[in-house]
């Protein structure tokens, strides 16, 4: 089972939050490792700065969406001196090439890394269709 990118996000887009807190954050693609072991596809995504509560994984049919919201790396009141990397929220969307057995999905999040194990669903039994003569 392969995981294909649904849309390639070239760099970042500005996303505005809703509600009273107008959160304008950059959104980045998290870096991923994807490999298959037998019938299971494993996706590991780096989302540093995100806590386990702020990670979101949704699977609708074969479309897998990974997203995470960060907490600021440095508290308010500090002045920025130099910047080699940008902080931002994460989002990446994949299309899986096969049905996933949703009841057997394993997901965990530690040290800013999301790990998903997606086992392929058992093949549906072929249905015998009777052909009537005449």
Partner 1 sequence: MLHTSFAPFGRTDPFVDMHRMQREMNRVFEDFGTSRRTTIYPPVNFWAGPDSIVMSAELPGLTQDDIELTVKDTMISIHGAYPSQDAGDDAVWSRRERPRGTFSRSVELPFHIDPENIDARFENGVLTVEMQRPEDDKPKRIKVKAS
Distance CA(103)–CA(84), nearest Å, equals 41
* Chain CA centroid to CA 19, Å: 24
DSSP SS3 for 108: strand
Closer residue to partner 1, CB minimum distance, 84 or 127 = 84
Q: Examine residue 6 and tell whether it contacts partner 1 (CB under 8 A).
A: no
Q: How many CB atoms lie within 10 A of CB 57?
A: 16
Residue (of 44, 61, 48, 58) closest to 99 by Cα position: 61
Q: Examine residue 57 and tell whether it contacts partner 1 (CB under 8 A).
A: no
- From residue 70 to residue 109, the character string flagging contacts with partner 1 as x (rule: CB under 8 A) and all else as - is -x-xx--xxxxxxxxx-x----------------------
Pairing of strands 89-96, 24-28: parallel
Closer residue to partner 1, CB minimum distance, 36 or 101 = 36
Q: What length does the chain have?
A: 134
DSSP SS3 for 102: helix
Shortest distance in whole angstroms from residue 64 CB to partner 1 = 13
Q: Examine residue 23 and tell whether it contacts partner 1 (CB under 8 A).
A: no
Shortest distance in whole angstroms from residue 101 CB to partner 1 = 19
Q: Which one of the spans 19-27, 44-52, 58-66, 116-124 is the region binding partner 1 (CB under 8 A)?
A: 44-52
Judged by the rule CB under 8 A, the positions of this chain that interact with partner 1 are: 2-3, 31-38, 42, 44, 46-51, 71, 73-74, 77-85, 87, 111-113
């Amino acid at each position: 089972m392969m995981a294909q990118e649904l849309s390639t996000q070239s760099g970042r887009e500005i996303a505005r939050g809703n509600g009273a807190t107008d959160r304008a954050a950059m959104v980045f693609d998290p870096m991923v490792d994807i490999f298959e072991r037998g019938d299971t596809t494993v996706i590991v995504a780096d989302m540093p700065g995100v806590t386990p509560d702020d990670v979101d994984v949704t699977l609708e049919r074969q479309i897998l969406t990974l997203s995470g919201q960060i907490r600021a790396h440095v508290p308010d009141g500090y002045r920025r001196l130099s910047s080699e990397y940008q902080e931002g929220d994460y989002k990446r969307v994949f299309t899986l090439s096969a049905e996933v057995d949703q009841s057997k999905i394993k997901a965990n999040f530690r040290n800013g890394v999301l790990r998903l194990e997606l086992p392929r669903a058992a093949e549906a039994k072929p249905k015998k269709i009777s052909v009537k003569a005449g």
